[in-house]
């Protein structure tokens, strides 16, 4: 398969403009259109919808795009392994991460990364909603749950300890629970679609769950930052990652609830990338940078 045609297709998909993509590669519009048509004939599908007003990806084009990016990445890695091409770390890195974690720990260190690697551009998808790495054509993603997808590889960034907490004002008003069953008498904030977590006692007390069976979940949300703010405002008791609330625990604006219980879950924060992808220089550089600045040990444990 013609990798130059793949490069043209990827650029046209990014720009949604065949002529502009052709100009970037030094091709006349007619030549660019002919080369894309030949590629479509090879794969047996229309990859782009063309009209006099705009260009858009077809369904087949959306499915083919991540594989085209992978082929180009493998070609670059193969050439680099043979000593061909520039050793400069450059290119656009597409990275997905939960918005709450990114706001606290990734966004503040981006200036240093960009200064260290001036040839790298970042395209960030920051949302607490799950992103599909393959379909979204992401080079790398940060996830805070166990990786079960066999098509992915992962590098551990840090442990992800979770705690129950509430504001001092809420506890003064509603009382402090002494055992998991006491949570039934409290207002609970729950992360949307989150499964119940087992609570194990440090002593011989019986275990429990959060939320307990039969509890009234007064607030359910899908954004970690909003849940932390609502908990601090006194809405009720919530479960949060320690990295999300450690500053509030330290300054006293949030208090641990049921401190004699641990959330029985060996969760961690992972840097994840497609198994079939060759680790390009830009991805390896970003992984190493995040490990340096956030992990070894986690910045919230220092």
Residues of the chain scoring pLDDT < 50: none
pLDDT on residue 1: 75
Residue 134's φ and ψ, nearest 5 degrees, are: -70, -50
Q: What is the pTM of this model?
A: 0.68
Residue 17 sits at φ, ψ, to 5 deg, of: -160, 110
**3.30.1490.20, 3.90.79.10, 3.40.190.290, 3.40.720.10: CATH of 162-263:** 3.40.190.290
CATH of 3-81, one of 1.10.510.10, 1.10.540.10, 3.40.470.10, 1.10.10.10: 1.10.10.10
Residue 200: the pLDDT is: 92
Could you report the per-residue pLDDT of 253-274, keeping only the tens digit for each? 999 999 999 987 778 899 988 7
C-alpha span between 83 and 138 (Å, rounded): 26
| Among the listed residues 214, 209, 184, the one whose alpha carbon sits nearest the alpha carbon of residue 261 | 209
* The CATH classification of domain 91-158+267-301, taken from the options 3.50.50.60, 3.40.190.10, 3.10.20.30, 2.30.30.280: 3.40.190.10
Q: What is the 3-state secondary structure (H, E, C) of 68-128?
A: HHHHHHHHHHHHHHCCCCCCCCCEEEEEEECHHHHHHHHHHHHHHHHHHCCCEEEEEEECC
Q: What pLDDT was estimated at residue 222?
A: 86
DSSP 19-47: HHHHHHTT--HHHHHHHHHHHHHHHTS--
pLDDT at 41: 92
Q: For the chain, how big is the Rg over CA atoms in Å?
A: 24
Same fold, 3-81 and 162-263: no
Neighbours of 264 (CB within 10 A): 13
Q: Where do the domains of the chain lie?
A: 3-81, 91-158+267-301, 162-263
- CB-based contacts of 104: which residues, under 8 Å, 6+ apart? 243, 244
pLDDT score recorded for residue 273: 84
What's residue 110's pLDDT?
97
């Amino acid at each position: 398969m013609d990798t130059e045609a793949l490069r043209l297709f990827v650029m046209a998909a990014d720009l949604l403009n065949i002529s502009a993509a052709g100009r970037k590669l030094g091709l006349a519009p007619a030549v660019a259109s002919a080369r894309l048509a030949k590629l479509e004939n090879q794969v047996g599908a229309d990859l782009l919808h063309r009209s006099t007003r705009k260009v858009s990806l077809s369904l087949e084009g959306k499915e083919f795009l991540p594989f085209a990016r992978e082929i180009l990445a493998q070609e670059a890695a193969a050439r680099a392994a043979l000593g061909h091409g520039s050793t400069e770390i450059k290119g656009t890195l597409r990275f997905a991460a939960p918005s709450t974690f990114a706001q606290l720990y990734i966004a503040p260190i981006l200036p240093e990364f960009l200064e260290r690697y001036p040839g790298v551009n970042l395209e960030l998808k920051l949302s607490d909603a799950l992103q599909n790495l393959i379909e979204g054509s992401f080079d790398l993603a940060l996830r805070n749950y166990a990786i079960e997808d066999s098509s992915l590889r992962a590098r551990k960034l840090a442990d992800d300890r979770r705690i129950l907490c509430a504001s001092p004002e809420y506890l003064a008003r509603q009382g402090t629970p002494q055992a998991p069953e006491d949570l039934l008498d409290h207002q609970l904030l729950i992360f949307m679609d989150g499964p119940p977590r087992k609570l194990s006692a440090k002593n011989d007390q019986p275990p429990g769950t959060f939320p307990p069976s039969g509890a009234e979940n007064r607030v359910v949300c899908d954004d970690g930052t909003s849940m932390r703010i609502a908990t601090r405002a006194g809405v009720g008791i919530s479960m949060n990652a320690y990295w999300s609330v450690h500053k509030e625990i330290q300054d006293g604006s949030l208090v641990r609830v049921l401190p004699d219980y641990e959330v029985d879950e060996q969760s961690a924060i992972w840097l994840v990338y497609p198994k079939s992808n060759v680790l390009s220089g830009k991805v390896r550089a970003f992984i190493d940078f995040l490990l340096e600045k956030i992990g070894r040990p986690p910045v919230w444990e220092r």
